Structure 1
Amino acid sequence: MTTATTPTASPAPADDPSITGPSWTPRLWGTLIVLCAAMFLDALDVSMVGVALPSIGSELHLSTSTLQWVVSGYVLGYGGLLLLGGRAADLLGRRRVFLVALAVFAGASLLGGLVDDGALLIAARFLKGVAAAFTAPAGLSIITTTFPEGTARNRALSIYTTCGASGFSLGLVLSGLLTSVGWRWTFLMPVPVALIALVFAVRLLPRPTEAPAKGGYDVLGAITGTAAVLLLVFTVTEAQGAGWLSLRTLGSLAVVATLAAAFLVVENRTAHPLVRLGIFRNGGVARANLIAFTIFGSYAGFQFIVTLYLQRLLGWSALEMALGLLPAGALVALSATRMGAIVDRFGTGRLLPIGVLALVLGYTVFLRLDEHSSYPALVLPSMILLGIGFALAFPSVNIAATDGVADEEQGLASGLVNTAFQVGSAIVLAVVTAVITAGSGGGESAGAQLDGYRPALVLVTAVALIGFVVAATGAVLDRRQKAVPAPVADHDDPSADPAGLRGKVLAER
């Protein structure tokens, strides 16, 4: 096993008024804006291509089974390599990894907008997902090591994560507008934004100032862990066509289990693991990752259902649907500058259950769907609840996932929570698709479609409800821990004063 030196960004002093004070320096704001731009583009790309798929399929003559890989290729690269991306940021330097990955992201975006072959387009999407798998944890860990834990970090993370949520929500609107001009613009639009962000990142991102830290490359752990996640995402995506109980799917899942077991063995025995399993002894980190899995997975499934329902059953255009979902994204975007203060006042332990409960209620409202549902009665109240839910839950879960984690493992913590987001999205979406297909029986009538959408919505709501239970349990545990008084020495008990300090004080008197 080889060793490597790891330059890391020096964390800001806890008493530095330029960071902890109410007013940040222009350079500090510039750093945060650059990182937010990259996060916005990562999230934007997840949702923006969906509306353009029919146009892409028509022009490039792609079958439905091939067309799904335009979306799945990105998710495969993103979700499969996030852990490796997070660890690379810790070992190779967060600034260096971020800059290289952002440049690759811009190049892959340009390639995707210019190709005329379906296979090349899918390859470009995969490469773009790989780049995002390195920019996301590197960017998040730059924030958590630049801003000290507490008010400053909460404020920065709230702005950063709401930019990601806004990008995911607004991607639908932008896609509707750009696709009306040409689907290639959905790929080309991020290129100038990424290049501008790259130029400013070179100038603004903090350079490593601490003495290099020694670490090692867990090659075997990287191979087994990355292969397990990649194969899991691939299996759940392909299971829709092959069948969940097919020999191919069951065989793939068996291989996933074998790789995962091998990964755990390696991580327990290696001196420098890719994922230090002890990080999950931090209950807040473990709960945050499970909540991330449920909230992003449930929303990915919900968005898929809503897209089919509004366009196929109610006959909405892509742009009408995008504008109809806009209130959720607008609420998240408008809350960005205030969420830091809200988190400071109430804490993530209180905000997480409230936010996830709002998501559960938003999905529950949509269970009333029928073939004559109106926007004010069904879609609008659901979007408002989802906007409130994500505004509260998304920043809180990112803060909780990195709280109490040492600076040298911030890349790992960031990679873990982003992996939970992406793997949750892939798995829940695959199951939702299977439920819709089974419920509708392949029928195209309004009744058959509703028979598929309703049980799928129940599944989505149940997944979000699991997240609420985990968040509420965490809030109760946190409250109990805070309620336990610190042990006070009994001054009448000599055993409580082993150093004889009480006697010394009395003697001095």
Structure 2
Amino acid sequence: MKTATTRGPGAALAALAGAQFTVMLATSIVNVALPQIRAGVGLSDNGTTWVVNAYGLAFGALLLAGGRAADLIGRRRMLLAGIAVFGAASLAAGAATSSPALIVARAVQGVGAAAIAPAALALVMELYPPGPGRGRALGVWGAVSGAGGAAGVLLGGVLTQAWGWQWIFYAVAVGALLILVGVAVSVPRTPITGGGGFDLPGGVAITLALTALVWGLTTARRSGWTDASVLGAFAVTAVLTAVFVLVERRHPNPLLPPRLFRAGRVTAGNLLMALLGSVWIALFFFLPLYQQQVLGAGPLAAGLGQLPLALTNMLGSTLAPRIARRIGATATVTTALLVEAAGLLWLSRISADGSYLTDVLGPSTLIGLGLSIAFVQLTALSVEGVTGRDAGLAGGLVNTTRQVGGAIGLAVLATLAGTTTAGAAGHLPHLEALTAGYRMAFGISSAVLAAAAGLALLLVRTRAARTEPVPAHP
């Protein structure tokens, strides 16, 4: 079999980027089809929420374990297994005729995605050592990651309107099959570099802690922050996190070794990625809702409305490495976050009697540029200085911070938007009350990114000044 070495790393990068694109696509592709899915399998309000949450819960909770497992058993092997599971679950979701079957299939999709994302990023790092080549590769990675979220809304609208909601899952299954073949043909087998055994107690503790956290956050959107089950989930999260910390201190091969956080600017990159994720996932939740519920767009029109954002996202991802080389990491991250914040601030001025051209198009272009450049640069910072044996773990960590940040952000913003809408419903027409809630969500998102830009000035610059060579052993 020919390897990526004989074919050139470009073919392997295309296959790996395709895997990441599919993972991001599955995050948002169901959003515009939820009303049709609800009618198709008889979902309740709670069940409709879990069509989205089941995927995010399994994905976010298992990323760290998936990343470490990829380091230990082989990244290519882990990636192929993850794609196979992901594709089979997608096929099962499309064929589901009951709500439990659909929700279980979405959860298994998330399990496959948790194996794919860190392994694919680690393989990109192996193919492209530090330097301009890695910068360009991460630009491609950022383009497909951001475009995947926007394309999910677009493709979901097109497929749902043309052939029915089942095809949003069948299309993902076909894509997974093609990517499976591409990875098998173009990505080389690489030596296993992760040393030591798998930290099973730590892996179980952090997976259950993340599960409880994400479950509590998603439940809080429906039941309120003071609900007993929500408070119980947060208490379980706190206890399991404490257990995880104790296990990590004593285990000879901890899941999150201290050396990982001494490398480059891993800590700063992950903290800022969590803040970016808190806004990112919420954006693709609220924007299609505004287009459909207030502006009256159908699934197809709402999906097509994401094209400008997707295009500027790809443009920004292409430009990000060049900008970083010219003005430096700190200025790049700060400027990108401020550009996205400006777009969200503009979006917070939407009106109930507005239109796509006057209320959505302009802000979307700014958001796409800022989001893509920030994502590419923060991904680079989050794997900076990481040795080969920890590449999968670093990929799992940066994906975890983005996913968990997104779950927290969406839960908080959905609560604030719902509270604002409920408060306005007494004295405003229904559409104006809905719009007031969306304006609140976009305005708070803008403030979060503005604060993140200020934090980036401190964290990225300070950590760069203090970075020292990482020792070969912990």
Contact 1:294-1:424 at 8 Å conserved across structures: yes
1:299 shift after superposition? 2.3
Contact 1:294-1:464 at 8 Å conserved across structures: yes
1:286 shift after superposition? 1.0
1:393 shift after superposition? 1.0
Decide which of 57, 61, 72 is 2:38's aligned counterpart: 57
**Aligned with 1:149: secondary structure?**
coil
**Identical-pair percentage:** 36
Counterpart amino acid of residue 238 in structure 2: A
Partner of 1:222: 203
In structure 2, the CA distance between the partners of 1:266 and 1:310, relative to structure 1 (3 Å rule), is: same
In structure 2, the CA distance between the partners of 1:28 and 1:281, relative to structure 1 (3 Å rule), is: closer
> Is 1:474 paired with 2:459?
yes
Decide which of 405, 410, 433 is 2:414's aligned counterpart: 433
Aligned length: 460
**Cα distance between partner residues in 1 of 2:317 and 2:336:** 15
1:343 shift after superposition? 3.5
In structure 2, the CA distance between the partners of 1:438 and 1:425, relative to structure 1 (3 Å rule), is: same
> Is 1:293 paired with 2:278?
no
> Is 1:98 paired with 2:79?
yes
1:335 shift after superposition? 4.6
**Cα distance between partner residues in 2 of 1:423 and 1:475:** 21
Partner of 1:192: 174
Partner of 1:500: none
Q: Deviations over 1:64-97 (max 9, x none)?
A: 1111111000001100100000000111111110
Partner of 2:448: 463
1:282 shift after superposition? 4.2
**Aligned with 1:215: secondary structure?**
coil
- If you compute each CA radius of gyration, which structure gives the higher value, 1 or 2? 1
Q: Deviations over 1:394-426 (max 9, x none)?
A: 111111100111111111111110001111111
1:209 shift after superposition? 4.0
Contact 2:316-2:368 at 8 Å conserved across structures: no
Contact 2:54-2:106 at 8 Å conserved across structures: yes
1:304 shift after superposition? 2.4
1:479 shift after superposition? 7.2
Contact 2:291-2:356 at 8 Å conserved across structures: no
Partner of 2:472: none
In structure 2, the CA distance between the partners of 1:371 and 1:337, relative to structure 1 (3 Å rule), is: closer
1:458 shift after superposition? 2.6
1:377 shift after superposition? 3.1
> Is 1:169 paired with 2:154?
no
**Cα distance between partner residues in 2 of 1:476 and 1:164:** 26
1:27 shift after superposition? 3.0
In structure 2, the CA distance between the partners of 1:163 and 1:450, relative to structure 1 (3 Å rule), is: closer
> Is 1:390 paired with 2:376?
no
**Cα distance between partner residues in 2 of 1:282 and 1:209:** 22
1:436 shift after superposition? 1.6
1:158 shift after superposition? 1.3
**Aligned with 2:190: secondary structure?**
coil
1:136 shift after superposition? 0.3
Counterpart amino acid of residue 269 in structure 2: A
In structure 2, the CA distance between the partners of 1:334 and 1:457, relative to structure 1 (3 Å rule), is: closer
1:336 shift after superposition? 4.6
Contact 2:154-2:305 at 8 Å conserved across structures: no
1:161 shift after superposition? 2.2
**Cα distance between partner residues in 2 of 1:283 and 1:214:** 21
Give the TM-score taking structure 2 as reference length: 0.92
1:197 shift after superposition? 1.6
Partner of 2:232: 251
> Is 1:450 paired with 2:435?
yes
Partner of 2:301: 320
In structure 2, the CA distance between the partners of 1:372 and 1:430, relative to structure 1 (3 Å rule), is: same
**Cα distance between partner residues in 1 of 2:234 and 2:194:** 38
Contact 1:156-1:340 at 8 Å conserved across structures: no
Decide which of 120, 142, 145 is 1:139's aligned counterpart: 120
**Aligned with 1:216: secondary structure?**
coil
> Is 1:267 paired with 2:248?
yes
Q: Deviations over 1:19-70 (max 9, x none)?
A: 9xxxxx7431111111011001000011111111100101111111111111
Contact 2:33-2:156 at 8 Å conserved across structures: yes
Q: Deviations over 1:352-408 (max 9, x none)?
A: 111111111011111212222233332122111111102211111111100111111
Decide which of 318, 325, 333 is 1:352's aligned counterpart: 333
**Cα distance between partner residues in 1 of 2:267 and 2:295:** 41
Partner of 2:189: 207
1:117 shift after superposition? 1.2
In structure 2, the CA distance between the partners of 1:170 and 1:110, relative to structure 1 (3 Å rule), is: same
| Range with bigger deviation, 290-299 or 42-51 | 290-299
Decide which of 32, 39, 49 is 1:68's aligned counterpart: 49
In structure 2, the CA distance between the partners of 1:273 and 1:321, relative to structure 1 (3 Å rule), is: same
**Cα distance between partner residues in 2 of 1:143 and 1:360:** 30
